[in-house]
Structure 1
Amino acid sequence: MTTIGIIGAGHIGSQLARAFTRLGDEVVIANSRGPETLAGLIDELGPTARAATADEAAATGEVVVVTVPLSAYREVPVEPLEGKIVLDTNNYYWERDGHIPALDSGEATTSGLLQEHLAGAKVVKAFNHIMAAEITTAGTPAGTPGRRALGTASDFPEAISYVTDLYDRLGFDTVSAGPLSESWRLERDRPAYVTRQDAAQLRDNLAAAFRVRPEDAA
């Protein structure tokens, strides 16, 4: 059993909490409004989940998920995540987050920004290119023909290994895009984004990805 901290209780965070508790892991989940606002979700999840502050979720989690709007990534606690694997689900929605020139120009990646903020953590891209509801509904047993694949990327092999095992437990194959510098291949508007694909198709979509979105290059 692993204790997983989740910072962010929106669609992805809440669905991951459901997925993790079903796997038998413990969940400590936080949002920006306070633990008391998560009472309904905790009642649903049962005794292996509890609500907390972001600092508590970061400190308690053996592994921690960051699933907040990208504009809020600098608010993620730094010290409690030192040395820990941190799953980054974030995507760049400039309509919500405001324009970030380094992302618009292809000079940075969303996960790279989080890794810079959490310099002592082991950031790994995960769950960013699947619809939230499909996390608990689209998985199938290993070896199923056409099994859906999800991507990841990290500068830390142990983080890639953790996500690969986690994806498999949830019913997905894994394709690594490589280091965080290549994680843009999984980001919003690229061919791999929220597309139902098996491992071979995902590899093709990663290879076909464009660094700068066409509208940003115009």
Structure 2
Amino acid sequence: MRIGILGAGAIGAAFARRLVAGGHEALLSNSRGPDTLAGLVAELGPGASAGTRLEAARAEIVVLAVPRPQVTAVLDGLPAWDGRILVDATNDFSVRPRPDEPTTSEQVAALAPGARVLKALNHLFAASLAAAPHAAAGNRVLFVSGDDHEAKKQFSAVLTDLGYAPIDLGGLAAGGRLHQANGGPLVGHDLVRLASA
């Protein structure tokens, strides 16, 4: 499967590395243009490519992996989502969210009408995300939250294929809050699901 990645920083590059290692394709984009990603694409090897923001956003599954202040600008002017999956891998460390506020992923969903928005890939540090998903005792856990069951199922199948152990935490409001930066109790925990579990 070809997955578009909006943002080629630490998290975007880490997930692209896992995609390519798992036999999938990663179409990376950034704000400076495809030519500036030639070195990273060469390092990642076959399966990795660079494109524009618009090209990456046309993939069936798109990962949003930019610094939080860039989210609005990156999502502005993209093609209609038409039910494609948008995985919010962003974190906002600048504020501590209040329980009565929408989660950051709910805010992303409001900026991307028509997208089936999931929260994932954000609770691990980039080095852990880039590491092999198979640990000695089992598989590295990745949390997935979202309001669309089929979208979670589809993305979780990709994660499972890569060797991760995806865990569904529920919807964007309740589940997303559990792995939202600056308050989510699951942020930063590099967990392994035992092979026998």
Q: TM-score range by the shorter chain?
A: 0.7 to 0.9
Task: Say what the alpha-carbon RMSD is for the aligned residues.
Answer: 2.2
1:34 to partner: Cα distance: 1.4
Work out which of the two has the higher radius of gyration on C-alpha atoms and give 1 or 2: 1
- 1:80 and 1:47 map into 2 onto residues whose CA distance is 29
- Deviation per CA, 1:23-81: give whole Å up to 9, x if none: 2212211111111111101111224222111111112x121111111222112144343
TM normalised by structure 1 equals 0.79
Instruction: Give 1:95-134 correspondences, 5 Å limit.
Output: 99=95, 103-104=97-98, 106-134=100-128
Of the two structures, which has the highest relative contact order with CA contacts closer than 8 Å and spacing of 6 or more? 2
Distance 1:147 1:49, change over 3 A: closer
Q: Is the 8 A contact 1:70 1:110 kept in 2?
A: no
* Paired residue type of 1:123: V
Residue 93 (structure 1) aligns with: 93
- 2:105 and 2:155 map into 1 onto residues whose CA distance is 15
Instruction: Give 1:111-190 correspondences, 5 Å limit.
Output: 111-140=105-134, 145=137, 147-182=139-174, 183-189=176-182, 190=184
Distance 1:30 1:164, change over 3 A: same
Distance 1:54 1:148, change over 3 A: same
Greater fraction of residues in strand: 2
Percent of aligned pairs with the same residue? 35
1:138 to partner: Cα distance: 4.7
Q: Is the 8 A contact 2:81 2:113 kept in 1?
A: no
1:70 aligns with 2:68: yes
Moved more, 40-49 or 12-21: 40-49
- The runs of 5 or more residues in structure 2 that have no matched partner are none
Residue 15 (structure 2) aligns with: 16
Q: Is the 8 A contact 1:91 1:187 kept in 2?
A: yes
- Deviation per CA, 1:73-128: give whole Å up to 9, x if none: 1121443433101111011121xxxx59xx44641111111111111011111110
1:195 to partner: Cα distance: 0.8
1:136 to partner: Cα distance: 3.4
1:4 to partner: Cα distance: 0.8
Greater fraction of residues in helix: 1
Residue 186 (structure 2) aligns with: 192
Partner SS state of residue 18, structure 1: helix
1:163 to partner: Cα distance: 2.7
* Paired residue type of 1:33: R
- The runs of 5 or more residues in structure 1 that have no matched partner are 201-218
